[in-house]
Amino acid sequence: MSDRQRNLLLCTAVLATVTAGCDADPPLPPDDQPRPVAVGKADGAIDFPAPAPRYHSFGEVESYLFDVANTFPDVAALGVYGESPEGRPLYALVIEEDPSFEDDPSKPNILFNFSIHGDEIITVESAMAVIHTLVTRHGSDDRVDDLLADLEIVIVPVVSPDGFAARSRTVEGVDPNRQFPHGGDPNRVGISIIEDAKALYGFYRFEGVLDYHAFGELVMLPWGGSFNRSPRFDELATIGIDLANGVGYTPGQLSHLFNTTAQGGSADWYHASGALSIGIELGTSKAPPESEIPFVAAEATEIALRYLEHFDPR
């Protein structure tokens, strides 16, 4: 990342136009939540999909995100909603027709989170594949066109960039996916990347959240912190069974799939906050051989498209 990019990231203006200056005082979004801040252009293109499948570094993922925003400005805008303790930007890519960092109240908002566990590196390749499918099929694939016209899609390819860079499940000595407020600790303040994730939710109030992990070939429904059924279990199950059927995964309630409870996970918090949130365990390894990346990424993409279709009012 160049110095110019870094400077743009530090810009506090809330602007859809990436080349604008940093002088404006941003208006506060609803509930005083910060929204993603638009970021600037990159020069460092990466080849994606790579001619031979391979894993990409955080810097390469950054370059890819900048490339997407540059190449497909009619459907993609890159923002930053925070910074990790080690200084890595927390990126959110908005994908929709005429993308902006405004919340259009007439459209359902959907969030895809990847790599809250930094060692599950197949999820980051999957994030790039989902993005690639949405932006490159736009204009030629009715299935994608309908989704981009009707929904506001926000993709966070790396929730835990310090963990990803270190290939570590934990950051700051804890599992990030246990740091959300929960029934036993409703006022919990977790680590900064999770507080930033909560703020992003606070701005968009996503109707749907998919949280991608690896591995296990599972479609996991809340609750994970309890064996009780959610009041919205039927809605969750309808979506979850469809996702699972699309790729041959096993659907179920988190706590029942694992026959144990774990509090502070993302699916529970987003669901308690109002989203029909679902967790995905991709494939059969956190980091399968590079030759297998396209197959797992294709499953992740089919899951994403099916999930989006459940929220499309069309």
Token reading at 147: 């989704």
Q: Which is nearer to Zn ion, 80 or 156 (CB)?
A: 156
Smallest gap from residue 87 Cβ to Zn ion (A): 24
* Residue 217 DSSP code: S
Distance of closest approach, residue 189 Cβ to Zn ion, in angstroms: 22
**Which residue is listed with tokens 């939540």?**
33
The residue range among 64-72, 94-102, 115-123, 267-275 that interacts with Zn ion, by the rule CB under 5 A, is: 115-123
Nearer to Zn ion, 56 or 117 (CB): 117
How far is the CA of 91 from the CAs of 223, 258, 314, in angstroms?
28, 31, 29
117: contact with Zn ion by CB under 5 A: yes
Binders of Zn ion in range 159-218 (CB under 5 A): 213
256 by Cβ neighbours in 10 Å (0-12 / 13-18 / 19+) ranks as middle
Tell the smallest beta-carbon distance from residue 13 to Zn ion (Å). Answer: 35
Query: Considering only 30-38, 63-71, 112-120, 305-313, which stretch makes contact with Zn ion by CB under 5 A?
Result: 112-120
| Residue with Cβ nearer Zn ion (77 or 191) | 191
- Least Å distance, CB 280 to Zn ion, is 10
By Cβ distance, which residue is nearest to Zn ion?
213
User: 183-195 as b/e, with b when 16 or more CB fall inside 10 Å?
Assistant: eeeeeeebbbbbe
Q: Report in angstroms how near the CB of residue 97 gets to Zn ion at its nearest.
A: 32
DSSP letter assigned to residue 212:
E
Smaller CB separation from Zn ion, 182 or 213: 213
Q: State which residue, 107 or 117, has the beta carbon closest to Zn ion.
A: 117
Q: Can you say how many angstroms the Cα of residue 167 is from the centroid of all Cα atoms in its chain? A: 18
Stretch that binds Zn ion, among 10-18, 116-124, 193-201, 295-303 (CB under 5 A): 116-124
Closest distance to Zn ion from the beta carbon of 15 (Å): 34
What is the distance between the alpha carbons of residues 201 and 203, in angstroms, rounded to a whole number? 5
Q: Which residues contact 121 (CB under 8 A, 6 or more apart)?
A: 55, 115, 164, 167, 286, 287
- Closer Cβ to Zn ion, 117 or 138, answer by number: 117
286 sits near Zn ion (criterion: CB under 5 A): no
Give the β-pairing of 152-156 and 89-95: antiparallel
Nearer to Zn ion, 148 or 221 (CB): 221
CB of 224 to Zn ion, least distance (A): 12
Ordered strands of the 208-214 beta sheet: 37-38, 76-83, 89-95, 152-156, 109-114, 208-214, 278-282, 218-221, 250-253
Q: Which residues of the chain form contacts with Zn ion (CB under 5 A)? A: 117, 213
